[in-house]
Structure 1
Amino acid sequence: MLLKFTVENFRSLRDRIELDMTRSALKGHTGNYFEAQDRKLLATSVIYGANASGKSGFLKAFQALEFLVLNSADFKPDKSIKCYEPFLLDEEAQDRPVKFEIDFISNETHYEYLISYSRKEVEFEELSIFNGNYKSLLFSREKGKDIKFGDNYRGAKKTIERMTLPNQLFLSKAVENNVELLLDAYRFFSGKLRIYPILEGIAEEDLKRLYARRLAEDAGSSFSRKFNALICALDTGITQVSAEETNPKMFRFPDNIPNDIKKTFLDQYKYDIKTYHKVFKKGELVGQKAFDVKDESAGTKNLFALGGIIIEALEEGHVLVVDELEKNLHPDITNFLIRLFHRPDINRNKAQLVFATHDVSQLSHDTFRRDQVWFVEKDEYGASTLFRCSDIEGVRADTPLDKWYMAGRLGATPVIQDENFLVEMQED
């Protein structure tokens, strides 16, 4: 579960900004939060803002942190850290470290993890655990100094410290070398945090292939039943979803392609999703016809990818981070998917959804508490700020947020300076 995420000097996020998933003192919408370790945590948070305001950049900060934790143990000596993306519109910030802080709960333990890194090395890294309100250090690492270990740390110390390169995280290296004490913290990033930038192209296709395999090889599973029920429930015209094995002869390979690559490709594309629609004759139902999923609408195809990750999140208790959740979907379908996280009878494993959207209609559905709604906007220097709706003066429980937002009263809307364009268009 996510409690808090803080970012500084990453992409357009020059100054420190923080997303807090802790419920405020506001009343109402009791299904929109749940209790965990004497805390009340929000099940969802939604981020609004103009194009290029910094919404995607903030969500990519989650991805950058996940990438470092899961991959830095394999970084080679002296290589640059690929996700070092400082704010470039301020000469003083261009060479400053990127900083991330995250508070999370993994296997009933509350952790706080801080990292700071420059182009080729980790400047600072610290992991602590909490027992109630008491904070206990596990390890703290600062550039140029020996790693400091807390009294609760158990496992190899100096050996792993010597093995950890300047561009690697100690957390990643320690887990690679079987320090069991840090496994639960690592598993939050490897097993509970799920980050999906805009679902399109290869990423969307990979997800559909993954779910095709699950439908084919485990058709009777809870996931398969729920996936079928979801797709058929959302007015897609589909009555059934299944997966069939593809014919390998449909793929043609150049003669010089190695057999192991052919085998990997054929395994990846072993199954195809089939959708079934009712067939009528003179107004009477006479049967069903199977379609390839590629023949479905863009929205339905997107739903196959998004529906799968939402069902998995609800089943496994994931923290799901998605950009442009509403892509190609009707607002009512988007709202239905969001509300699944607000139903304690469905979200039994305390899954959370953090997403960015341009779908203003979601603000008119009475779906969110004001402390679940966030806005991003850029200042005159190109730096993004993140602020909470509940912190805006004058916003009340009965405020029509959609109308206020579209009127510019909440900020985070585009300023269109069209004078020069209109003049140019009229010149001829």
Structure 2
Amino acid sequence: MLVKFIVENFRSLRDRIELDISKSTLKGHVGNYFEHQDSRFLTTTIIYGANASGKSGFLRAFQALEYLVLNSADFKLDKVIAPYEPFLLDEDNQNNPVSFEIEFISNDTRYSYFLSYSRKEIETEELNVHNGNYKALLFSREKGKDIKFGDSYRGGKKTIERMTLPNQLFLSKAVENNVEVLLDAYRFFDNKLKVYPILEGLAEEDLKRLYAKRLAEDANSSFSRKFNALICALDTGIAQVSAEEANEEMFRFPANIPEEVKASFLDQYKYDIKTYHKVYKGGKHVGQKAFDVNEESSGTKNLFALGGVIIEALEQGHVLIVDELEKNLHPDITTFLIRLFHRPDINRNNAQLIFATHDITQLSHDTFRRDQVWFVEKDEFGASSMFRCSDIEGVRADTPLDKWYIAGRLGATPVIQDENFLVEMQED
């Protein structure tokens, strides 16, 4: 589970921005938080802001960190670190390191991990393990110096340090070499943190193919039953969902295509999702008709990707991060999906949902505590800041947040300067 995330000098996030998932002292909405080891953490976090305010950039920071931990062990010497995206609108920051700090719990152990990196090198990297109120060092790395290891560290040291290239993370390289004391920290990024900055295009198609495979392999599995129940419950007109194996004869391959390429393609597109709608005659139900999922509406197709990741998050206790959660969905459906995380009987594994949205109606549904709502806005220099609703002076439990936000009283709304545009449009 996530405790805290801090980012600095990444995209429009020039200055230090901290997202704290801990429950504040506010009362109410007891289903919106859970208790773990004498601490309380929020199950959902919603982020508002104007277009290009920095919401997506903040969520992409999670993706950048996830990518580095899971992939840096394979980076080649002297290659650019791909997620190096510093703030470019200030010449003092253009070449400064990007930094991330994350505090999380994995397998009931609390960790804090700090990382800063420049274009081709890791500048600093540090991992600590928490024991009650005390923090014990596992390892600390600083560019140009030997890695410092704490008493809690057990495993290869100098050999792995020599194997770690300047653009690789020691955490990634040590786990690659099976340093057991670091495995649980790594597992958080590999198994628990699920980042989907924007569910569209290839990402959405990949997810639909993944769930098609799961539906086809076991139509009676717990996942298949829950997936069917969710899709059919949300007024989609669908009575049943299944997956069928695609006919190889549907695909035409060039005569000279390698067999391994052909096999890989067929494995990727092996299953098609089918939706079934009731057929009527004379007002009576007489059967069902199958449709390819691509014949469904944009909202329904989005549900096939989003619904799957939500079910998995609730089943496995993921930290699920999604941009534009409401994409092509009716607000009532969005509210239903969010509230699944607020139900202890459904969210039994303490899954957390962090998402950005423009759907103002969510503020009017009495769904969120004030410490769950965050706002992002840019200043005149193009730098983003982020602040929590509960920290805004004058906001009370009975404040109509949707009306205040529309009126601009909470900030983070677009300032439209249309004078020049209107003059140009009237010139002819």
Following superposition, the deviation at residue 256 of structure 1 comes to: 2.7
Q: In the alignment, which residue of structure 1 is the partner of 2:186?
A: 186
Q: In the alignment, which residue of structure 2 is the partner of 1:177?
A: 177
Q: In the alignment, which residue of structure 1 is the partner of 2:386?
A: 386
Q: Distance in 1 between matches of 2:150 and 2:136?
A: 7
Q: Distance in 2 between matches of 1:167 and 1:269?
A: 35
**1:21-420 residue pairs with structure 2 within 5 A?**
21-420=21-420
Q: Distance in 2 between matches of 1:161 and 1:374?
A: 40
106-115 or 258-267, which deviates more: 258-267
Aligned length: 428
Q: Distance in 2 between matches of 1:243 and 1:409?
A: 49
Q: Distance in 1 between matches of 2:238 and 2:381?
A: 50
Q: Return 5+ residue gaps in structure 1 as ranges.
A: none
Q: Distance in 2 between matches of 1:197 and 1:382?
A: 21
TM-score by length of 1: 0.99
Post-superposition, which runs of at least 4 consecutive aligned residues in structure 1 deviate over 4 A? none
Q: What per-residue deviation string (whole Å, max 9, x for no partner) do you get for residues 178-229 of structure 1?
A: 1000000000000000000211111111111110110000111111100000
Q: Distance in 1 between matches of 2:234 and 2:285?
A: 21
Q: What per-residue deviation string (whole Å, max 9, x for no partner) do you get for residues 148-188 of structure 1?
A: 11011100111111111110000000000010000000000
Q: Return the letter of the residue paired with 1:27.
A: K
Q: Distance in 2 between matches of 1:211 and 1:407?
A: 42
Q: In the alignment, which residue of structure 2 is the partner of 1:3?
A: 3
Following superposition, the deviation at residue 103 of structure 1 comes to: 0.2
Following superposition, the deviation at residue 11 of structure 1 comes to: 0.2
Q: What per-residue deviation string (whole Å, max 9, x for no partner) do you get for residues 242-293 of structure 1?
A: 1111111111112232111111111111111111111111111111111110
Following superposition, the deviation at residue 22 of structure 1 comes to: 0.1
Q: Distance in 1 between matches of 2:208 and 2:84?
A: 31
Q: Return 5+ residue gaps in structure 2 as ranges.
A: none
Q: Return the letter of the residue paired with 1:392.
A: I
Q: Distance in 2 between matches of 1:284 and 1:64?
A: 54
Q: Distance in 1 between matches of 2:267 and 2:165?
A: 37
Q: Distance in 2 between matches of 1:294 and 1:243?
A: 13
180-189 or 252-261, which deviates more: 252-261
Q: Distance in 1 between matches of 2:420 and 2:255?
A: 57
3-state DSSP of counterpart to 2:111:
strand
3-state DSSP of counterpart to 1:137:
strand
3-state DSSP of counterpart to 2:215:
helix
3-state DSSP of counterpart to 2:19:
strand
Following superposition, the deviation at residue 105 of structure 1 comes to: 0.0
Q: Distance in 2 between matches of 1:285 and 1:165?
A: 66
3-state DSSP of counterpart to 2:137:
strand
3-state DSSP of counterpart to 1:63:
helix
Following superposition, the deviation at residue 138 of structure 1 comes to: 0.4
3-state DSSP of counterpart to 2:208:
helix
Q: Distance in 2 between matches of 1:16 and 1:256?
A: 54
Q: Return the letter of the residue paired with 2:112.
A: E
Q: Distance in 2 between matches of 1:284 and 1:177?
A: 64
Q: In the alignment, which residue of structure 1 is the partner of 2:18?
A: 18
Following superposition, the deviation at residue 112 of structure 1 comes to: 0.2
Q: Distance in 2 between matches of 1:68 and 1:78?
A: 15
Q: Distance in 1 between matches of 2:46 and 2:400?
A: 16
Q: Distance in 1 between matches of 2:318 and 2:51?
A: 28
